[in-house]
Structure 1
Amino acid sequence: MIATKQIYARKFHSPARKLRVRLNKSGAKPKSRQHILDTLNQHINTLADHLLQSGDARQIVAITGAPACGKSTLAAELARRLIAQRRSAVVVEMDGFHLDNAVLADMGLGLRKGAPETFDADGFIRLIRALKSGRDVYAPRFDRTRDLSIGGAIRIPADTQFVIVEGNYLMFDEAPWRDLSPLWDVTARLEVAMPELRARLIHRWLSLNHTRMVATRRAEGNDIPNAQRVIDHALACDFTLNGQPAVN
């Protein structure tokens, strides 16, 4: 077991902790990106140290957790730390496999975007399997500004040692997502209490110039149920990381 001050990192298939926390109705503001990064720093050090001891073989690392828990920040900073140690690392985002808005509308899922069934799960699984092929691989990237995926936007050269994959459903106990579990070399789950997640999810919509009423309705109608679903159907990870910012 790896222990760190004021945070924890449980290793090697410890049970996934389920969070069932009453939603915060206070409208509290989410913590800043820098505050989140400060919270994650010890976790990043723990993961980087572990990966740097893994030898020269390719490692496919899954960073998972509920939406807005800080996965993208953690993955990007972990890659930066590894590159600083003269290792090659690329971040791949599951969000690149969002189904197009027109397809979702045809399926009647336009208001459910972000739920497990609104992704090309089979295509994503094929990508992860291809990452083990020893060839150059290209992955899509999700453009949040345009709300669409861009194919072939991320190149993963064959000699990349660390492929860091981040997304909500990487260790998720529903078909077909559970088929991903044996494909990862290292898995880490980032956990944040629901009141903080709620604040961050509402803030995302506010940042797109929605009113607080609309932002709250969008978050509570889709994003927060998706977050709870991730929590309720979580598979055990090698590392479980407490991403809750400390109270100053």
Structure 2
Amino acid sequence: MNINSGTFRIVYEDARFAFAQLLILYITIPILLVWLTVGYFFNLGEEVIAAISGPTYFFIMLFAVNSFKTIFPVAIGMGSTRTNLLKTFYAIGLASVLVVTFILNVFQWILLTFYERWNVAAHILHPGTFLHREYTFLSYFLMDFMVGIFLFSFAFLFYAIYHRLGLKRSVIWMTVLIIVSTLLQYSGLINFSFWKWVVAQDLSDSAIFFFVVTISLIALLITYPIMRNAPLAVRSKK
């Protein structure tokens, strides 16, 4: 087994264990069965919200942080380069988000289909409900995929910063950034009204999707120069 295939195998096996075994088999499917059972035997009203997506979002962030933290020293110790590991982690991470959000939406479709057949008035918890979007499989899948990429990218970005700076320095720099941004905003030197304008716009679903995905991928790419020459261990607290 060469170094590249070895790195791929390590990351792939970790992703398969986290998502296929822990998330899908041990958590999401049992939760789905519980909601199906409750919906069949009990008269659920419109105020009831069936939630099966929460664990998926949590595991995406957990994989971005904990899996890389575990894999990093192992892969480097086996002879992999940081560059190869990062590229492999990006590819498998994004592919995992795509697959797991698709499976999640299949489960949500099953739940909604049975609820409609049984005349159950309960709704499912989904980002689309907050945007008042009518359910379609494709639109809800793309929305889950969008949220998944956002969580994966920014969770890994925050971990990369923490890995390079350590907890103490990360908190200090974050505080400094907030203070400087506040001073620049209220002094008139920098105007953040662009973000207010974006929020105020009634953007289409496709515009929201491409905007969030673009911002997320930029955040993910920022981690490359941060982690390309990173030490194996998190920077000392001192």
The TM-score, its normalising length taken from structure 2, stands at: 0.29
Larger helix share, 1 or 2: 2
Structure with more relative contact order (C-alpha pairs < 8 Å, separation 6 or more) = 1
For normalisation by structure 1, the TM-score amounts to 0.28
- Structure in which a larger fraction of residues adopt strand: 1
